[in-house]
A and B are shown apart, each in its own frame.
Chain A
Amino acid sequence: MLEVTGLSKSFGGLKAVDGASLTVNAGEIVGLIGPNGAGKTTLFAAIAGFHKPDGGRIAFEGNDITGLPPHKICAAGMVRTFQITQPFAKITVRENIMVGAYLATSDRRAAAAKAEAVAAQVGMADQLDQRGADLTVAARKRLELARALATGPRLLLLDEVMAGLNPTEIVEIIQIIQAIRASGVTILLIEHVMQAVTSLAERLYVLNQGRMIAEGTPAAIAENTMVVEAYLGHGAAKVLRA
């Protein structure tokens, strides 16, 4: 469904993403992990059209989307969320979600109905009339998810939806994400915390210093020496096994 090949992106002299490749198949939940500063968000932003890649190719459902602007990529059926939540502060949750829903319809009533349905799906049905600015961190994360979902995507790119949540909230959002997948949406998610993502994703990619260093099932990744060292520093794997 999504095929990224040899993607590179530099800022100044710094290579944020360096020849990274990944594949997401329809119906999967795929995780993209890596230590802080590994280039995960840059890779995401490049896939979603926010950064023009310096090299490489991005194909979505067989079509080359490299370098397309975000709104076209969104219209094609792939939408991203932001790690730092970006609610529209002065309008209500309903109106926030409607902005996403308006992608598919110009009818106000249809957009409002869609917004309410999506709000129910992410557990925000009773917060529809609250302003974006007045939401808690957990609610903002859900709103981020809901708005993206309202655009009717086939592939959802989630950037650290669990960061900053407490364990109860994490369990809730994992259930929501699983339900979204069950409804037929493929998901690629970035997560910094490995534990959270292992219970959710079938496959993981590991990015370190802009390069893809490993790919496999969560169990295989946990065993991978390079991954452990990327997270914990050189020599850590040896120590852990001793």
Chain B
Amino acid sequence: MSSRVKMLLAIGFLAALAYPLVVPNYLVTVGMLMFFAAFIGQSWNIAGGFAGQTSFGHAVFFGVGAYTSTILHVSYGWNPWLAWPVAMAAGAVVGWVIAVLSFRAGLRGSYFALITLAFAEVFRILANSVPFTHGGLGMLIRADIRPANFQFGNAIWPYYVAFALCLVSLFIAWRLTQSRFGARLVAIRENEDAARALGIDVFAEKVKVLMLSGAMCAAGGTFYAQKYLYIDPNIAFGIDKSVEMLLVAMVGGAGTIFGPLIGAVALTGINELTRWAAAVIPALKNVQPLSLIVYGIMLILIVARLPDGLMSLFGRPSSKAKPRHA
């Protein structure tokens, strides 16, 4: 890492720390949402970007995390902080189950993506139907605003928690680029047969990465539930959440450390722009679809023209520029 990059990172870190102290509450919440999107986007990126296991159903982990901690808290009186690691473990277990079943059956590429979607759908329907999730009514967490209870009365604390989560996820991604596990994931993404020939237990590594990704994403689910004090099957397991995570990582740059953060900044920015446009132009009553249309177009353009996402615009030492040895 060059000293200029280090300097930029340090400035960014300090700016992010100071940000909520100087801007109005509304913008603090926007920042919180951004870091949170970057965090769950990174959980997708670790499986979908680094290891190349594209998922269309990451909400299954998000939902399992949200429901695990909420059920433990609401129905069994657990402290949400204590329920948090259990939720992560539940995410890892679901990751293990999906990975073992899918990879044992040899599913790859699009088929893996579609089966994750189906798993999320099964969980959504179950959460809609079984009594202990309170079905389609969803689950309300009783407001009891104490930090010891994982509930914060202001916008600033959730911001710092989301920021910390984002930092942890960046650290995990950075560790991947520095470790044997990460190198093996990249090898699997690039060419499974070659990876296998070089002594990599492809199945075991893919199971591991889905457990890691599932645990992280589940951690995001708990944070979400504690922030909004309400979840229902569609919020927790719906395709919208799965797509959001995928978009954040793909737009920013799948398989890169900062991709999900860049993607979250870009998508949050677009969201705010359309919100602003809607306030100015009365014809645009409904802003949510407008920003999603822009996201969809960005996804198309990124897949077709910029496979490394917006990150590649930041002048990574791309070998494309180097002359080929003849």
Q: Which residues of A contact B (CB under 8 A)?
A: 48, 50, 69-71, 74-75, 79-82, 86-92, 95, 98-100, 102-103, 105-106, 108, 111, 127, 129-136, 139, 147-148, 151
The answer to whether B197 and A148 have CB atoms under 8 Å apart is yes
A148 contact set on B, CB distance < 8 A: 197-198
The answer to whether A48 and B322 have CB atoms under 8 Å apart is no
Q: Please give me the 3 A-B residue pairs with the lowest Cβ-Cβ distance, nearest first.
A: A74-B199, A88-B190, A131-B319
Mark interface residues in B167-202 (1 if CB within 8 Å of A CB, else 0): 000000000001110011011001101111111111
**A-B contact list, 17 entries, CB within 8 Å:** A50-B193, A71-B202, A75-B199, A79-B199, A87-B191, A91-B186, A95-B183, A95-B186, A99-B198, A102-B180, A102-B183, A108-B179, A111-B183, A129-B319, A130-B319, A134-B324, A136-B324
The answer to whether B190 and A91 have CB atoms under 8 Å apart is yes
B325 at the interface (CB under 8 A from A): yes
The answer to whether A99 and B319 have CB atoms under 8 Å apart is no
Task: Name the residue of chain A whose CB is nearest to the CB of B190.
Answer: A88
In the bound complex, what is the Cα–Cα distance between A150 and B77 (angstroms)? Answer: 55
CB distance from A86 to the nearest CB of B (A): 4
Known contacts A86-B191, A98-B183, A102-B180; decide if A74 and B198 are in contact (CB<8 Å). Answer: yes
The answer to whether B197 and A79 have CB atoms under 8 Å apart is yes
The answer to whether A86 and B178 have CB atoms under 8 Å apart is no
Known contacts A102-B180, A108-B178; decide if A127 and B194 are in contact (CB<8 Å). Answer: no
B195 contact set on A, CB distance < 8 A: 99
Starting from the known contacts A74-B198, A108-B178, A133-B319, 18 additional A-B residue pairs (CB-CB under 8 Å) come to A50-B196, A50-B197, A69-B201, A71-B196, A71-B202, A81-B197, A82-B193, A91-B186, A99-B184, A102-B184, A103-B199, A111-B180, A130-B325, A132-B190, A134-B319, A135-B324, A136-B324, A148-B198
In the bound complex, what is the Cα–Cα distance between A87 and B187 (angstroms)? Answer: 9
The answer to whether A147 and B198 have CB atoms under 8 Å apart is yes
The answer to whether A86 and B179 have CB atoms under 8 Å apart is no
B326 at the interface (CB under 8 A from A): yes
CB distance from B301 to the nearest CB of A (A): 20
CB distance from A134 to the nearest CB of B (A): 5
Mark interface residues in B25-55 (1 if CB within 8 Å of A CB, else 0): 0000000000000000000000000000000
Known contacts A88-B191, A89-B190, A90-B190; decide if A82 and B197 are in contact (CB<8 Å). Answer: yes
Mark interface residues in B308-326 (1 if CB within 8 Å of A CB, else 0): 0000000000011010111
In the bound complex, what is the Cα–Cα distance between A95 and B50 (angstroms)? Answer: 14
Task: Name the residue of chain A whose CB is nearest to the CB of B198.
Answer: A100
In the bound complex, what is the Cα–Cα distance between A108 and B194 (angstroms)? Answer: 20
In the bound complex, what is the Cα–Cα distance between A35 and B165 (angstroms)? Answer: 59
